[in-house]
Amino acid sequence: MFIFEKLTVYQKSIDLVELIYSVTGKWPQNELYCLTVQFRRAITSVTLNIAEGNSRSHKDFRHFLDIARGSCFECVAILEIAKRQKYIDPRQYQNIYA
């Protein structure tokens, strides 16, 4: 097992990737190459940056975590758009946002 796999933030990000893939799989087909792909790429970026950054120096790891945080912010914006487009209901929004 790699060190990053033991990090709570990594484990939670993997859970969130699984949730987002499940939720976006039910979105309209016309969103497949727009919001769906963007959301999946952004949430996957969080997980990948945590993993890759952990292999680097402490200073570089902080940089990768900054990138992961930026991807989290991107996910929040996508989540808001999805709620307004009624792709998710308020309960799903709160669950994912939390």
Asked if the 3-97 domain carries CATH number 1.20.1440.60, the reply is yes
Whether 54 contacts 4, CB under 8 Å: yes
**Domains of the chain, residue spans:** 3-97
Confidence class of residue 15 from pLDDT cuts 50, 70 and 90?
very high
Query: What pLDDT sits at residue 35?
Result: 97
The model's pTM: 0.93
86 backbone dihedrals φ, ψ, rounded to 5°:
65, 30
Provide mean pLDDT across the span 58-73: 97
Give per-residue pLDDT as tens, 17-31: 999 999 999 999 999
> Rounded distance, CA 90 to CA 82, Å?
10
